Amino acid sequence: MDLTNLTPAPGSVKTRKRIGRGSGSGLGGTSTRGHKGAKSRSGYSKKIGFEGGQMPIQRRLPKSGFKNINRVEYKAINLETIQTLAESKKLTKVGLDELREAGFISKSVLVKVLGKGTLTLKLEVAANAFSKSAEEAIVAAGGTVVKL
């Protein structure tokens, strides 16, 4: 056994197609590109959404609606989430930093506290916005609401 009798496994090596090397090769002439048209020419690349000259779908459908540039989007956090967080970490104050550390919110997110669930602990809750039911539940439990 030496380097002279090493060969690749049978069927693992294929000869590449030599396109455009004369009619004798069987792949000359049109070079497997068919006859005429944009696809037969060099430099062809299909545009995104091109439908063969037919009016593309994004131009056939009408425009609708609008996007409000003044929309403020909040991440919703329920009272039950705040209750479990305060119980597990033994907190008296729950704010954005505590929610971020617990993994409920990411950085630079506005938080709105919603009233789903019950709150039994006396907590100081700080957030960007509160629903009426959440605010009432926090005050009823003896806590305070801090709007940031």
CATH 3.30.450.20 assigned to 74-147: no
User: What pLDDT, on the 0 to 100 scale, is given for residue 65?
Assistant: 94
* Contact partners, residue 95, CB within 8 Å, separation at least 6: 125, 126, 127, 146
Distances, alpha carbon 91 to alpha carbons 27, 53, 88, 99, 100, in Å: 77, 65, 8, 11, 14
* pLDDT at residue 52, as a whole number: 87
For 55-82, the pLDDT digits (tens) are 999 999 999 999 999 999 999 999 999 9
Reading the block at residue 8, the tokens are: 């690749």
Three-state secondary structure call for residue 132: helix
Q: Would you state the pLDDT for residue 127?
A: 95
Per-residue pLDDT of 7-49, as tens digits, reads 999 999 999 999 999 999 999 999 999 999 989 999 999 899 9
Q: Supply the pTM of this predicted model.
A: 0.59
Task: Specify the pLDDT at position 1.
Answer: 79
User: In this model, does residue 137 exceed pLDDT 90?
Assistant: yes
The mean pLDDT value for 85-109 works out to 92
Q: Compare 62 and 1 and report the one with higher pLDDT.
A: 62
> What are the domain boundaries of the chain?
18-63, 74-147
Q: What is the pLDDT of residue 63?
A: 93
